[in-house]
Structure 1
Amino acid sequence: MLEADLKAQLKAYLERALRPIHIIASVDGGAKSRELLSLLDDLKEASAKITVDTTGDDARKPSFALTSPGTDIDVRFAGLPMGHEFTSLVLALLQVGGHPSKAAKDTIEQVVALEGDFLFETYYSLSCQNCPDVVQALNLAAVLNPRIRHVAIDGALFQDEVEAREIMSVPTVFLNGAKFDQGRMTLEQIVARLDTGAAKRDAAKIAAKKPFDVLVVGGGPAGAAAAIYAARKGIRTGVASERFGGQVLDTMAIENFISVKETEGPKMAVALEQHVREYDVDIMDLQRATQLVPAGDDGLVEIRLENGASLKSRTVVLSTGARWRQLGVPGEDQYRNKGVAYCPHCDGPLFKGKRVAVIGGGNSGVEAAIDLAGIVAHVTLVEFDHQLRADEVLQRKVRSLSNVRIVTGAQTTEVTGDGAKVNGLVYKDRAGGDSHRVELEGVFVQIGLLPNTEWLKGVVELSPRGEIIIDDRGQTSVPGVFAAGDATTVPYKQIVIAMGQGASAALSAFDHLIRTPAPVLEEAEAA
């Protein structure tokens, strides 16, 4: 099943396994089961430590469990973990085989100390770039703690379960039979949900930190670049981010980052964090900033966090990025993850054979319509403007597809549903004023970005669009506070531009530091 070069890579990886790996497969006579058996033969061939038993009795077929003799490890895959999930399979094999994880020591200790019995079920799609993070996090948890079990389920292969559990977005995680959460999650986020005292302990650690020279708020490309450039100056640098990687984590394909022909967002996010960690940078992840207090007599800017702690710094670089813009119409919030989606790559496979709409006629919207047309029965592409705004090459492609209907000059006014899931979309003809209803099962919103700057209103000067107003040095309206990336007024929201801005903002912050007298700190605070 696997190509020769991939087999060779797999063999090299599995040489790191330290103990036997026993795979128990549950199969039937179907084509997918035959594919699974072929995959398992390749795994067995790649390592002498792997044995395979095909007499499993799991109700989900095809599926397989990864175990190791003498342990209580129970990591399962229902379906064929190929595509984005092949990496999850390789990591699971290594970890079940005793290869140590690179997770932070304190996180591992938290997982090991969790009390209770946990059965996690994660529904994923093979095209979802967000799903592997969740699958890999829960697989590792199941390896570390014998009272945690995890099964990763290919939603496209087990459609009956998807329908019964009303899953319309991936990744979706169930814990002990009840819905736990949806969307990308890290191991740290999952543990924080299970360990109720973690947030309080984390806040206490943060509150005890001494002031920084440069504090970066946000961990996307702009924030990563700012942190590296600041740290290279030998000054005390910190990064407080809600999720390191930012919106890059939600980006499928990246083909315009100079010198890198092609990559995927999650891979770039990992590379960004690894690069930052090469320097003496204090990374504080899972931290949401809620307030900025300009420097007072002590010369320190304060950033207050959602968990009640606060950080102080002589300078701050704001790189909070942006998020998907919402329609703001009735039904959108009610049916979010119940038919309303924002990631066609992630959730598209769940709508196989169904009728969907894509809202937005820019590049993102038209690309989404093209991608979905190969999966779903029909796509209605709805654009507010009187013409599509995507590149001409994309417009030609989408117009050539027989199962795509394009509606321009249309204002979406409502997403309708039956109380449990989406069943339609209402739009108004902007020219004539008539309303039209389209019966469908899914709505994919692709109408641009909204800067994450609400928490700065009234303190930092913002544009009418909510973007942080900066000059050519990245300086904001608040002395000592700089900004970079998609949250600012700089046009062309691109990764390469955000990185350049982050570097520029950090250099400007350093220039500010060397021209400003250092504050005299209290002895206890400086300790």
Structure 2
Amino acid sequence: MLDNNIKTQLRTYLEKLQQPIELIASLDGSGKAQEMLAMLQDIAALSTKVSVRHDGDAPRKPSFAVGRPSEAARISFAGIPMGHEFTSLILALLHTGGHPPKAEASVIEEIRAIPGRFHFETFISLSCHNCPDVVQALNLMAVLNPGISHQMIDGALYQDEVTARQIMGVPTVLLNGQPFGQGRMTLEEIVGQIDTGALQREADKVSARAPFDVLIVGGGPAGAAAAIYAARKGIRTGVVSERFGGQVLDTLAIENFISVKETDGPKLAAALEQHVREYDVDIINLQRAEALLPGTVGGLIELRLASGASVKSKTVILATGARWREMNVPGEKEYRGHGVAYCPHCDGPLFKGKRVAVIGGGNSGVEAAIDLAGVVAHVTLLEFESSLRADAILQKKLFSLANVTVITQALSTEVSGDGKKVNGLVYTDRKSGQGHRIDLEGIFVQIGLLPNSDWLKGTIALSARGEIEIDARGETSLPGVFAAGDVTTVPYKQIVIAMGEGSKAALSAFDYLIRSSVA
């Protein structure tokens, strides 16, 4: 089941086990069950501390659990965790076997102290790059707290259950059989949802911080670059971020980051955070900015957060990035996660054999249609303009696919559904004015980005598109406030450009501090 290269790497990892673990398989007569058993036997052959049993009687078959011989197993996998989830399996083995996790000590203690019984189930797809973060977080919680258990479920393997539960996006998490969350969630976010006092305690800690010299709002490429450049100047630097990595976390393939031939969003985001943490930077994560109050406290700029906390700084760099643009038509919000999706790589496998639409004829939309065509029964791509905007090579590939239909001059007007999930899309032909309906089960929206600047309206000068207006130095309309990256008026929303702009904003903020202190 496992090739020799994987076995060699896995053997090295398993040498870190501090105590015996066992793999308990619950099998049926399927081919997948035989593959699963072969994988477990391969793993056990690599370490004397690993044993395999196949007398499990879990409700979902095939599946297997990871536990210690003297305890009931609290981690299980309903499916073969390969692809993006192979790391989740390795970490489950290591942590169950006593290898210490890399989480913050305060978070570990908080998890251990959570009272109650919590059984989590996470539906994933093996091609989803957001799913492993959730799976690994819940597995770690299960290792640390005897009252918590977790099972990963491969939606493609349990398609009937996915259909019955109306699961239309991954990762989808259930807690004690009830919906808990969907999409990327960090360990701290999950803990905050089940430990009701955690959010208030964190808000109190944030508000107690001393004022910063430079406070960066946003943890994407622009924010990370700004933090590094500011910290290297030896000034007190802080980063407030809703999720470190920002929009990069939702980007799969990155092939235009200079000097790096290819990488993916989660890897780059992890590298950004690791680099920032090499410096004396105070990272305040999982906090959403709500208001900017310039010069209200002794000349300091105050940033108020949605948690109720507030932080103060001499200068601020706004690097809040952008988010997926929505169609803003009836039915879109109602069926988000129930047929309306924004990540074809994550959610595409859930629509295997079904009919879907892709909205948008730029590079993102055409790439999404090409990817989906290999999984779904049929793809209809709708573009507002009279022709596609994607690169010629992508269009050539798109038009070579037999199960793709392209409709131009199409204005999407409504997402229809049966009350539980999407069943169609209504659009208007802009040339003839006639309305049409397409029967389908999924809609993937790929129409660009919107700047995350809504919370700044009335406070700072914004363009007609909602972008923060800046000059050549990254200065905004407010003294001491700078901005960088996709949230600004700088053209060409690219990772490498955002990093340059973040660096420039930090240098400008430092120059402002020097001149202000002299004055």
TM-score range normalised by the length of the shorter chain: over 0.9
Q: Which amino acid aligns with 2:285?
A: D
Secondary structure in 2 aligned to 1:503?
A: helix
Aligned to 2:361: 361
Q: Which amino acid aligns with 1:120?
A: F
Q: Deviations over 1:103-129 (max 9, x none)?
A: 011111111011000000000000101
Q: Does 1:299 align with 2:319?
A: no
Q: 1:518, 1:30 → 2: CA distance?
A: 76
TM-superposed deviation, 1:46: 2.0
Q: 1:120 to 1:51 in 2, by over 3 A?
A: same
Question: Does the 8 Å CA contact 1:73/1:96 hold for their aligned counterparts?
Answer: no
Q: 1:102, 1:132 → 2: CA distance?
A: 16
Q: 1:238, 1:192 → 2: CA distance?
A: 22
Where do residues 318-467 of structure 1 align in structure 2 (5 Å cutoff)?
318-467=318-467
Q: Which amino acid aligns with 1:140?
A: L
Q: Which amino acid aligns with 1:447?
A: I
Q: Deviations over 1:137-187 (max 9, x none)?
A: 000000000110000000010011101111000000000010111010011
Q: 1:273, 1:182 → 2: CA distance?
A: 24
Aligned to 2:148: 148
Aligned to 2:128: 128
Q: Deviations over 1:242-275 (max 9, x none)?
A: 0011011111111111111111111111111111
TM-score normalized by the length of structure 2: 0.99
Q: Does 1:139 align with 2:139?
A: yes
Aligned to 2:283: 283
Q: Which amino acid aligns with 1:8?
A: T
TM-superposed deviation, 1:203: 1.0
Q: 1:229 to 1:255 in 2, by over 3 A?
A: same
Aligned to 2:114: 114
Aligned to 1:42: 42
Q: Which amino acid aligns with 1:124?
A: I
Q: Deviations over 1:282-335 (max 9, x none)?
A: 000010000011124722111110111111101101000000000000000111
Aligned to 1:67: 67
Aligned to 2:185: 185
TM-superposed deviation, 1:343: 0.4
Aligned to 2:164: 164
Q: 2:265, 2:136 → 1: CA distance?
A: 17
Q: Which amino acid aligns with 1:224?
A: A
Identify the range of structure 1 (82-91 vs 255-264) with the bigger mean alpha-carbon deviation: 255-264
Q: Which amino acid aligns with 1:181?
A: G
TM-superposed deviation, 1:70: 2.9
Question: Does the 8 Å CA contact 1:116/1:147 hold for their aligned counterparts?
Answer: yes
Aligned to 2:486: 486
TM-superposed deviation, 1:54: 1.1
Q: 1:266, 1:42 → 2: CA distance?
A: 29
Question: Does the 8 Å CA contact 2:65/2:73 hold for their aligned counterparts?
Answer: no
Q: Does 1:211 align with 2:205?
A: no
Question: Does the 8 Å CA contact 2:21/2:51 hold for their aligned counterparts?
Answer: yes
Q: 1:17, 1:509 → 2: CA distance?
A: 48
Q: 1:403, 1:297 → 2: CA distance?
A: 61
Q: 1:261, 1:38 → 2: CA distance?
A: 35
Q: Cα RMSD between the aligned structures?
A: 1.1
Secondary structure in 1 aligned to 2:517?
A: coil
Secondary structure in 1 aligned to 2:425?
A: strand
Q: Which amino acid aligns with 1:377?
A: A
Question: Does the 8 Å CA contact 2:220/2:247 hold for their aligned counterparts?
Answer: yes
Secondary structure in 2 aligned to 1:86?
A: helix
Q: Does 1:90 align with 2:90?
A: yes
Q: 1:102, 1:259 → 2: CA distance?
A: 29
TM-superposed deviation, 1:72: 4.3
Aligned to 1:272: 272
Q: 1:74 to 1:288 in 2, by over 3 A?
A: same
Aligned to 2:475: 475
Question: Does the 8 Å CA contact 2:40/2:52 hold for their aligned counterparts?
Answer: yes
Question: Does the 8 Å CA contact 1:73/1:142 hold for their aligned counterparts?
Answer: no
Q: Deviations over 1:196-250 (max 9, x none)?
A: 1111111111111110000000001111111011011111000000001101111
Q: 2:243, 2:300 → 1: CA distance?
A: 25
Question: Does the 8 Å CA contact 2:358/2:446 hold for their aligned counterparts?
Answer: yes
Q: 1:373, 1:446 → 2: CA distance?
A: 15
Question: Does the 8 Å CA contact 1:72/1:146 hold for their aligned counterparts?
Answer: no
TM-superposed deviation, 1:34: 1.4
Q: Which amino acid aligns with 1:492?
A: Y
Secondary structure in 2 aligned to 1:419?
A: coil
Question: Does the 8 Å CA contact 2:24/2:52 hold for their aligned counterparts?
Answer: yes
Question: Does the 8 Å CA contact 2:296/2:302 hold for their aligned counterparts?
Answer: no
Q: 1:282, 1:25 → 2: CA distance?
A: 44
Question: Does the 8 Å CA contact 1:344/1:444 hold for their aligned counterparts?
Answer: yes
Q: Which amino acid aligns with 2:108?
A: I
Q: Which amino acid aligns with 2:403?
A: N
TM-superposed deviation, 1:14: 1.3
Q: Does 1:56 align with 2:32?
A: no
Q: 1:496, 1:508 → 2: CA distance?
A: 19
Secondary structure in 1 aligned to 2:295?
A: coil
TM-superposed deviation, 1:73: 4.3
Q: 1:73 to 1:30 in 2, by over 3 A?
A: closer
Question: Does the 8 Å CA contact 1:422/1:440 hold for their aligned counterparts?
Answer: yes
Q: 1:288, 1:512 → 2: CA distance?
A: 26
Q: Which amino acid aligns with 1:455?
A: W
Secondary structure in 2 aligned to 1:101?
A: coil
Q: 1:504, 1:13 → 2: CA distance?
A: 42
Q: Which amino acid aligns with 1:48?
A: T
Secondary structure in 2 aligned to 1:393?
A: helix
Q: 1:353, 1:364 → 2: CA distance?
A: 22
Q: 1:13, 1:423 → 2: CA distance?
A: 47
Question: Does the 8 Å CA contact 1:321/1:486 hold for their aligned counterparts?
Answer: yes
Q: 1:440 to 1:474 in 2, by over 3 A?
A: same
Aligned to 2:500: 500
Secondary structure in 2 aligned to 1:282?
A: strand
TM-score normalized by the length of structure 1: 0.97
Q: Which amino acid aligns with 1:409?
A: Q
Q: Which amino acid aligns with 1:400?
A: S
Q: Does 1:20 align with 2:50?
A: no
